[in-house]
Amino acid sequence: MGFFSEYKQVNQLLKQKQPVVIYAESRHYYPYFEKLISDILEAKVEIYYITSDAADPLLLRSPAKMNVIYVKWMLGFLFSRIRADVMIMTMPDLGNYLFKRSAGVGTYVYLFHAAVSTHQQYRKEAFNNYDTIFCTGDHQQKEIRKAEEFYGLGSKTLVGYGYPLLDEIKRKSGTRIGKQTILIAPSWFEGCIFDTCIEELLKQLSGSPYNIILRSHPEYEKRKKKGFKAVEQLVNSSPNIAMDEFPNVLDSLPSAAILITDRSGIAFEFALGAGRPVLFIDTTLKETNASWKELGIDPVENSIRNELGIAVSPSALYDIPAKIKELEQLQNGFAVKMEKLKKELFYNSEDSYLKGLDHVLSRLESTNKN
């Protein structure tokens, strides 16, 4: 799509105030919006969905009452001028960099695309400019309130929403047919698997009876183009290894037999959604916020890590075959244990999802219902 087409679409959008606007940085983020989108559309409220991914399948086909447009070059211009009752995003740091708040938006809602804590893997100011946070569980509510008190911030509206992606992963996790798969899915921080030990890891997996698939994080592809190219070259030179080409995590994660990751929130999705143990590579912590210890709260991704699977040091990857056998032995009863842990950690229920929908509907100046 050319600049002129984008310019026309942006100006068309700016002509009037919208009830609900959703912004997605790429097609990878749609699964995190999907439940809320479905509920909003069922309530007969129109959605304007903005994507910055030219390959987003929603541009070709989208649900009724959802207008989808591609905007990339004019995002800064659009963000500062857009008018909406509610704008929903999974993008942290609203107002801190290029994308500013607009005076024409009534309520900005943040929806999590990872169920980790709010103070270690996100920047200190990541959520300061949002009006409402849809929290996945009590841990996030406590962290945000503590940060507001500790740093003297204004009080945001916190909605106990949950993490519906886990329910969808569980629904899609069934019996696997054929050769089983190991999915390697790191995060994108300095020190992640792709930057530190991917070659040695693949070497140790080369003799395993599994298919090996690598899933890159969209932020890694965007921020570390050179590193991603090196990973692609490694995959291209290895006949038994492939890249996960599916943008939607639901296309690959539920059917994987084993997940290998570092500090990524995908560990929650695999262990608590698919009900299978994770093999962690014990890389350095993902510390986007160097001041996270000031709150005196242990991040949930650290505190329950040992319950989600087992770990191996990057310096001991020769032990990978033995660790895989250990994972296979952990399977018995693991799903039941994870279901219990999920209920303790997350708000997930139809009532919690209804709270999210009700909050959005309550912020509409006019219902725009037909």
Contacts of 314 (CB under 8 A, 6+ apart): 196, 197, 200, 281, 282, 283
Q: Kindly tell me the sign of the dihedral angle through the C-alpha atoms of 182, 227, 232, 26.
A: positive
Distance from chain centroid for Cα 282: 21
What's the pLDDT at 370?
Answer: 40
Write down the pLDDT at residue 252.
86
> What local confidence, expressed as pLDDT, does residue 178 receive?
54
Instruction: Give CA–CA dist 138/345, Å, rounded.
Output: 7
What is the per-residue burial (b if ≥16 Cβ within 10 Å, else e) of 249-258?
bbebbbbbbb
What is the rounded distance in angstroms from the CA atom of residue 322 to the CA atom of residue 328? Answer: 10
3-state secondary structure of 136: coil
Q: For the chain, which residues make up each domain, given as ranges?
A: 3-163+348-362, 170-345
In order of 20, 42, 49, 69, the CA distances from 66 in angstroms are 10, 11, 7, 10
Q: Are strands 157-160 and 241-243 parallel, antiparallel or unpaired?
A: unpaired
Name the residue with tokens 């929130």: 265
Do residues 82 and 266 touch, judged by C-beta distance below 8 A?
no
Count how many residues are written for the chain. 370
Query: Position 279: which residue type?
Result: L
Q: How many CB atoms lie within 10 A of CB 10?
A: 19
What pLDDT shows up at residue 291? 97
The residues that bridge with 311 in the sheet, in sequence order, are 280
Asked if 3-163+348-362 and 170-345 have one fold, the answer is yes
CA–CA separation, 30 and 239 (whole Å):
31
Alpha-helical regions (H) of 82-197: 138-151, 165-172, 193-196
| Cβ 106 vs Cβ 130: under 8 Å | no
Asked if the 3-163+348-362 domain carries CATH number 3.40.30.10, the reply is no
Per CATH, the number for 170-345 is 3.40.50.2000
Torsion, Cα 308 113 286 245, to 10 degrees, reads 90
Exposed (0-12), middle (13-18) or buried (19+): which is 351, by Cβ within 10 Å? exposed
Residue 213 neighbours by CB under 8 Å, 6+ apart: 181, 182, 183, 184, 241, 242, 243, 244, 252, 256
Q: What is the pLDDT of residue 368?
A: 46
Q: Which amino acid is at 328?
A: E
Query: Does the predicted TM-score (pTM) go above 0.75?
Result: yes
**CA gap 367, 370 in Å, rounded:** 9
* Tokens standing for residue 121: 């893997």
Digitized pLDDT (tens) for each residue of the chain, 370 residues in all: 678 889 999 999 999 999 999 999 999 999 999 999 999 999 999 999 999 999 999 999 999 999 999 999 999 999 999 999 999 999 999 999 989 999 999 999 999 999 999 999 999 999 999 999 999 999 999 999 999 999 999 999 999 999 999 999 999 986 554 568 999 999 988 889 999 999 899 889 887 888 899 998 878 888 778 888 888 888 887 777 888 877 788 888 998 999 999 999 999 999 999 999 999 999 999 999 999 999 999 999 999 999 999 999 999 999 999 999 999 899 999 999 999 999 999 999 999 999 999 999 999 975 444 4
